[in-house]
A and B are shown apart, each in its own frame.
Chain A
């Protein structure tokens, strides 16, 4: 059962022990298998976090409801946020990057396959550790952390959160952080070192570009979170006093450290989705992306700027006029490179021969939903508006438009687009359309109304509310929307299960796409390109192969 395969393709040679059955997954160092493991673990945590969200919406459906206790409610919103960010969105994006980046650049694997496996298992066990905190409730130790996903001090200190919940949260996030960091290092090193002949930076698929930028952000800011976490752990375990105002420490320092990580993290969660949209929109518009250089460069600009906007999360602290002004302006300015991208995608659609596949529907949904989230974000950057709306449901609505309307729609576009490559079978378009429309309706029903709820003054993170005029109806609408959204996820899962068994066989390149991953079989064999990587003379190598009489190179020369 243990035969050693020595492969030397794509400039990479290493030994791989081939196993069978379950062990072939647990012991795998193959980037495709690890990518799939990331996607499955992300799906499982997505279901868990979704159940937590439904519990919250049931509790909030009626005023003065007693479905959940206040303590449990606090634990649930903390776990929902932490799970969605660290165990759903980031692993889903890393999973896709793991699977696709080596294929897209014509490589055999990532640079450090063993490190890749270590990274996945570190984040998976970090997630298990985080959820283990629920079990401490059985020992009357308080259960899961109840401090919100940003765990503001001093609430997260031992004096106020005396159970081990926050300790599980810290250790879990450290494990997940190690995993994310190794993935970031691996992806950046892969893109720098393992590009096939001809694949210059100016020809990288935009998903690879956005992964590169994301990887650098991961390398720079995950350690910032880790530093904050070890300081908090020292406070809790060794009675240090970093963030304890009672012994001279600074609660504000935690906020600065956390958001120095936290805001770039938002872009870690959205840039790869930008990359997916930049692959999907051109293919289904029948046109190359409009302004490739601008899409890539604006991604780099966003990454740099994201490091200088963190304190817009802290306007309510009272940082003083100069600081508020600086962070308001920098936060508004980051809308410029983001807006550039929106124009790029819109211009790609313009005069295109559009194919409205499910993937394309999600991409178009992304464009609209993300723009709404972006606009409410710019509104927030104005300090007085922030002061008025901070910690209200307007915030909840805003970031769900960015992270669900943006990232999740982008990821679903990616799932429908690459599922045939990964599994060899197409997802059903009929279920897909149903999935899209249910998601679109359910999502907007849940979160659009929350903008209004926030403006009416409903604070976030309260376990219940009095029967004020309008609140009851709006909360009920939001809860109904949440159930529609949950149903859409079921439709998606059924689609995946049915299509895995009996979906239409995909073939190598079902969408007539142009990037290298479509040159190999679906699913790709263990060594990715057994027949060799196609030559790369431009940004669309498969287009050039199929149209030798009008390659991108010729068109470029004609244009000049």
Chain B
């Protein structure tokens, strides 16, 4: 029989994909309508966000390494890779906060226009998911630091890792649609 934790998180990811699917489609729907005021091209900084995005993409590699160390039963390596993953995720969140702050200072908020409405909703919900992922990673890290790493099952570890990869993959889509599309289109 398949592993229940992986199946459960797989199904959860499927549902989350549907949720983000609707938010992305709504963003594109309004992106393609003629609009007034600030838009993606005029208010976002793709170069800077690319740097922060690379941190998030790298964190997929570090969580993979953490999982590898976990299977090879090297607790200290697990702790280091987990901490690095959390650090990279944290840097990404800080970058997003930075971007939000800049936009709010220029008077662009959720209620400004349709670009702002759909941008903040989409990226905000993604950021929320990164935070949830950080909590899950923090739990794994906390348990392994307190020396009870044997309490973590490999399928539990795998489940957190799957979720983190998913949060990462969603950002690939959002970054392409929100930041890269205005550059090419």
Contact = CB atoms under 8 A, between A and B. Distances in A.
A is bound by B: yes
A193 B3 CA distance: 7
Main secondary structure, interface of B, reads helix
Contact of B110 (A11, A221, A238, A250): A238
Interface stretch (B21-29, B75-83, B93-101): B21-29
A335 interface: no
B43 to A, nearest CB: 16
Given A223-B16, A224-B22, A193 B111 contact: no
Interface string A204-246: 0000000000000001111110111011001000111110000
Interface string B42-84: 0000000000000000000000000000000000000000000
Interface string B1-18: 111100110011011101
Contact of A111 (B8, B12, B117): B8
A328 interface: no
Contacts of B18: 219-221, 223-224, 227
A14 to B, nearest CB: 11
A181 B15 contact: yes
A189 B19 CA distance: 20
A493 interface: no
Contacts of A226: 19
B1 A188 contact: no
A97 to B, nearest CB: 15
Given A193-B7, A224-B18, A248 B26 contact: no
B118 interface: yes
A189 B111 contact: no
Contacts of A219: 11, 14-15, 18
Given A189-B8, A241-B111, A231 B121 contact: yes
A381 interface: no
Interface residues of B, number: 30
Contact of B1 (A193, A221, A224): A193
B184 interface: no
B113 interface: yes
B35 interface: yes
Contacts of B113: 241, 247-248
Given A226-B19, A227-B23, A240 B110 contact: yes
Interface in B83-135: 110-111, 113-114, 117-118, 121, 125
Contacts, number: 100
Interface string A312-350: 000000000000000000000000000000000000000
B117 A240 contact: yes
Main secondary structure, interface of A, reads helix
B183 interface: no
Contact of B7 (A192, A230, A241, A253): A192
B9 to A, nearest CB: 9
Contact of B29 (A181, A238, A250): A250
A437 interface: no
B11 A188 contact: yes
B15 A227 contact: no
A496 to B, nearest CB: 34
A112 interface: yes
Query: On chain A, which size bracket covers the interface?
Result: 35 or more
Contacts of A185: 8, 11-12, 15
B22 A228 contact: yes
A260 to B, nearest CB: 8
A227 B117 contact: no
A437 B110 CA distance: 57
Contact of B121 (A221, A230, A247, A253): A230
A241 B117 CA distance: 7
Interface in B137-167: none
A253 B111 contact: no
A199 B163 CA distance: 30
A253 B26 CA distance: 8
Contact of B19 (A111, A227, A250): A227
Nearest to A239: B111
Interface of B: 1-4, 7-8, 11-12, 14-16, 18-19, 21-23, 26, 29-30, 33, 35-36, 110-111, 113-114, 117-118, 121, 125
16 contacts: A111-B8, A189-B8, A194-B4, A223-B16, A223-B22, A224-B19, A227-B23, A231-B26, A231-B121, A234-B110, A234-B121, A248-B35, A249-B30, A249-B114, A253-B26, A260-B22
Which 5 pairs between the two chains have the least Cβ-Cβ distance? A227-B22, A223-B19, A239-B111, A240-B117, A223-B18
